[in-house]
Amino acid sequence: MSPTDTDLKLEPTLRRILVVEDEETLAAGVREALEHQKYTVETVGDGLAALHKIREGAFDLIVLDLMLPGMGGLDILKTLRAEGRDVRVVILTALASEQDLVRGFELGADDYVKKPFSPRELLARVEAQFRRSATRTATTAEMIELPHGIKVDLQRLEVHREGQVLPLTPREGDILDYLMKNRSRVVTRDDLLLDVWHYKSANVETRTVDIHIVGLRRKVEPNPSQPSFIQTVRGKGYRWYED
């Protein structure tokens, strides 16, 4: 696997990326593609070794396989977030179920790439992560009160309902904020990929928007199977309910 698309070339950067992948050929290909774009890259093929390396060094992004010897990718992600490490994480997965991906996003993964993938696809996802951080805007400041006694605090990234406080991931907060700010119109999948994920193009094969919406509805909807706040407009996208 080697990059051939000159239009993907980035400016030289000192950003450090750790690739956690036990398949040596794939890890070498990912490393080559990232180094071609002037990233500083390290690779490791064991989960426990990866966790040790992350703890001893500062990385700007981790490319993380889910199926690893020693310690699985989701367990690594859970440990990192429990330790308060907010490094960006892009998951690599071959056979993960939607439930696994929802769990990964709830644990703080930022995006995923399905195997097999092209260098162009991976580089686009990595680039989007750094672009998103650079262009992030302030979220809605006030506590939003919804029917059924549900409250959403986008500053604290919390949903208050039925005496519980449910944490939102930063990405879920971004989605909610975007839907609320654009409640007067239908928000398409392409809108979300371009304006929330900050992809350069929405012409990508990914279910990340749908999977995030599923996880978000579980937190804010009284009945996720019949959503009333994040409404689906068939064939078009999503609309935040009119209060």
Please tell me the predicted confidence (pLDDT) of residue 40: 95
The pLDDT of residue 132 is above 80: no
Lowest mean pLDDT among 63-77, 109-123, 134-148, 157-171: 134-148
Residue type, 126: V
Read off the pLDDT of residues 82-96 as tens digits, 9 standing for 90 and up.
898 889 999 998 866
What lies within 8 Å, CB to CB, of 33 at 6+ separation is 1, 2, 3, 119, 122, 123
The answer to whether the bond into 116 is cis (omega within 30° of 0) is yes
pLDDT at 67 over 60: yes
Predicted confidence band at 57 (pLDDT cuts at 50, 70, 90)?
Answer: confident
Last residue of a domain, one of 93, 108, 135: 135
Assess whether 128 and 147 both reside in one domain.
Answer: no
Token pair of 216 as six digits: 């978000």
37, pLDDT greater than 60: yes
CA dist 5 and 34 (Å) reads 13
What value, to the nearest 5°, has the Cα angle with vertex 85 and ends 204 and 143?
Answer: 75
Q: Copy the structure tokens of residue 134.
A: 């650079």
Question: Does residue 5 surpass a pLDDT of 50?
Answer: no
Residue at 1 is within a domain: no
Query: In the predicted model, what is the mean pLDDT of residues 95-121?
Result: 85
Give the rounded distance of the alpha carbon of 61 from its chain centre: 12
Instruction: Decide if pLDDT at 134 tops 70.
Output: no
Q: What is the band of 3 on the pLDDT scale with cuts at 50, 70, 90?
A: very low
In this structure, are 195 and 120 located in the same domain?
A: no
Q: Decide if 209 contacts 192 (C-beta within 8 A).
A: yes
**Domain identity same for 11 and 61:** yes
Higher pLDDT, 217 or 206: 217
**pLDDT confidence of residue 218:** 92
Residue 9: pLDDT band by 50, 70, 90 thresholds?
very low
| Global confidence as pTM | 0.77
What domain range includes position 13? Answer: 6-135
User: Domain holding 31: CATH number?
Assistant: 3.40.50.2300
Indicate whether 44 pLDDT > 60: yes
Mean pLDDT of 112-127: 89
- Identify the pLDDT of residue 58: 87
Q: Which pLDDT score, from 0 to 100, does residue 103 have?
A: 86
148 and 128 within one domain: no
Residues 122, 30 share a domain: yes
Residue 20 scores a pLDDT above 60: yes
Are 40 and 100 members of one domain? yes
Per the structure, the count of domains in the chain is 2
Mean pLDDT of 185-194: 94
Residues 37, 84, single domain; the answer is yes
Query: What average pLDDT does the segment 31-58 reach?
Result: 93
Name the domain boundary from 102, 135, 168.
135
Give the span between the Cα atoms of 208 and 108, in whole angstroms: 13
CA distances from 171 to 20, 103, 134, 163, 207 (A): 22, 14, 15, 24, 15
Instruction: Say if 183 falls within a structural domain.
Output: yes
Q: Examine the domain organization and report whether 199 and 94 are in the same domain.
A: no
